[in-house]
């Protein structure tokens, strides 16, 4: 049958994607999509950390990012404990760096430090948050493919534990900064290993045709090692770094990456007589945004990665380096949902007599660009009440002047959803606030943390005054 010119969503009899099944009860929560304290109270209203979302909306307004603090902390602890256990007998443990790009603010940086994790930052702004939060320099790693001199010097002054080098120019830039400041910069080399994770093209980062790192196959990585070792007074090569992508649901990609990067590790030992003490395998661990996703638990990830690294080191006859990983999404993502208020509801007739309910809310692509940017899927639920209405196929859209301003492409909501209702979208803790904008001059939402029956602001709502403050009259 010929495909419809407007795409699959308009094809005859469209009833949503194959993985989306109509629920028997539209009030049911798919619990693994939500922070652990989220549930429904007697009247069907959503609660988180013992707080009614209607109270959150009344106090802080909508839209709002709502983060379960204990859920966030618990996921951070799980990663730390799982990797410490899995690598304990191999190399004395492992270091877990929270990838601050997923979501970072002063309080979150403090949570990460208090739970015993390190912090990975990739800009001067993220570094400034870490410093403000009191994170010690030795527990911070600086990433980025084009670090400025000012960013490098700020990191060295704070005594960061590592700078991940990404280009030949950066080797010279960091060495020069270290010389000016009279310090030795601890560095890792980011290596592209030719592994393309099963993910969206724009978030797969280890294949050769992209901006990050030094290529293994082209010999750039080996040359980078040589150049770093030429600056022993200013650069201390701690190890190699590999990151293969995002939203990864198995360890097979890490197996290939580890094998290839350990090959370079062995070459360095043979050619230069230097056995590098560290190996960073990156992050990219997937989470469940919808029922189609089945992520691995940290304990399973850690065990699988430990087995891979141990096997490769035994085969090469080298000691297991101290391993580090960089989860961001897997900690922040499930801990947070975005709370919206419905403004309008309209029924749209599709081909084949099918219909779809368009539910417009008071946010959109300015607070969650991922569906437009990555074609990302999300789920949602009616949050302020229980409904006895039958489920109806719905699309949750934003208020922005773009046809692509879609938050949830397909989900079943009660057919009586109406203006004034609250809609909650789970899994928005990673990259939603970080990638947010002021498109259409819409102020960014607040971040509200909930714990033990109390809600408090982590990041306040922007105002129109904030938006106008940067304009020069």
Q: Which residues are catalytic?
A: 401
**DSSP codes joined into one string, 250-309:** SSHHHHHHHHHHHHHHHHHHHHHS----EEEEEE-B---SSTT--PPPHHHHHHHHHHHH
* Spatial distance between the Cα atoms of 136 and 96, rounded to a whole number of angstroms: 15
* Spatial distance between the Cα atoms of 286 and 199, rounded to a whole number of angstroms: 10
C-alpha dist (Å) from residue 133 to 107, 138, 321, 426 = 7, 14, 30, 27
* Spatial distance between the Cα atoms of 73 and 34, rounded to a whole number of angstroms: 15
Report helix, strand or coil for 457. strand
As a 3-state breakdown, the chain gives helix, strand, coil percent values, each rounded to 5, of 35, 25, 45
| DSSP one-letter code for 37 | T
Report helix, strand or coil for 93. coil
* Spatial distance between the Cα atoms of 379 and 317, rounded to a whole number of angstroms: 48
Contact between 32 and 288 under an 8 Å Cβ cutoff? The reply is yes
Closest CA to 51 of 63, 41, 65, 42: 41
Q: Which two tokens stand for residue 40?
A: 């429904």
Q: CA angle, corner 104, sides to 365 and 446, nearest 5?
A: 50
> How many other C-beta atoms lie within 10 A of the C-beta of residue 367?
28
């Amino acid at each position: 049958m010929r495909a419809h010119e407007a795409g699959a969503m308009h094809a005859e009899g469209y009833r949503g994607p194959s993985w989306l099944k109509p629920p028997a009860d539209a009030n049911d929560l798919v619990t693994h999509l939500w922070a652990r304290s989220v549930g429904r109270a007697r009247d069907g209203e959503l609660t988180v950390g013992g707080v009614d979302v209607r109270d959150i909306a009344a106090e802080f307004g909508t839209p709002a990012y709502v983060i379960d603090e204990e859920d966030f902390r618990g996921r951070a602890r799980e990663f730390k404990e799982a990797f410490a256990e899995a690598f304990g007998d191999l190399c004395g443990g492992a270091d877990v760096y929270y990838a601050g790009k997923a979501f970072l603010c002063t309080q979150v940086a403090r949570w990460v430090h208090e739970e015993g994790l390190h912090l990975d930052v990739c800009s001067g702004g993220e570094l400034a948050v870490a410093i403000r939060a009191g994170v010690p320099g030795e527990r911070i790693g600086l990433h980025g493919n084009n670090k400025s001199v000012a960013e490098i010097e700020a990191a060295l002054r704070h005594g960061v534990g590592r700078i991940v080098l990404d280009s030949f120019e950066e080797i010279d830039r960091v060495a020069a900064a270290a010389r000016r400041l009279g310090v030795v910069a601890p560095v890792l080399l980011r290596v592209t290993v030719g592994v393309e994770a099963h993910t969206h093209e724009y978030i797969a980062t280890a294949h050769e045709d992209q901006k990050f790192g030094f290529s293994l196959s082209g010999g750039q990585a080996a040359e980078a090692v040589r150049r770093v070792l030429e600056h022993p007074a200013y650069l201390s090569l701690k190890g190699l770094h590999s990151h293969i992508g995002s939203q990864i649901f198995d360890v097979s990609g890490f197996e290939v990456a580890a094998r290839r990067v350990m090959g370079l590790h062995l070459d360095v030992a043979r050619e230069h007589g230097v056995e590098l003490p560290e190996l960073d395998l990156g992050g990219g661990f997937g989470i469940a945004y919808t029922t189609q996703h089945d992520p691995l638990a940290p304990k399973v990830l850690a065990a699988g990665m430990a087995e891979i690294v141990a096997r490769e080191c035994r085969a090469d006859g080298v000691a297991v380096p101290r391993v580090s990983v960089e989860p961001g999404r897997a900690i922040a993502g499930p801990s947070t949902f975005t709370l919206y208020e419905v403004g309008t509801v309209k029924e749209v007739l599709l081909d084949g007599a099918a219909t779809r309910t368009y539910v417009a809310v008071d946010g959109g692509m300015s607070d969650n660009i991922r569906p437009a940017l990555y074609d990302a899927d999300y789920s949602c639920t009616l949050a302020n009440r229980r409904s006895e209405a039958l489920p109806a196929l719905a699309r949750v859209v934003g208020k922005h002047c773009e046809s692509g301003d879609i938050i949830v492409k397909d989900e079943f909501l009660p057919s009586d959803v109406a203006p004034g209702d609250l809609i909650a979208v789970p899994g928005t803790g990673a990259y939603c606030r970080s990638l947010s904008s002021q498109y259409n001059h819409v102020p960014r939402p607040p971040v509200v943390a909930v714990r033990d029956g109390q809600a408090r602001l982590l990041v306040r709502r922007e105002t129109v005054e904030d938006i106008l403050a940067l304009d020069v009259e």
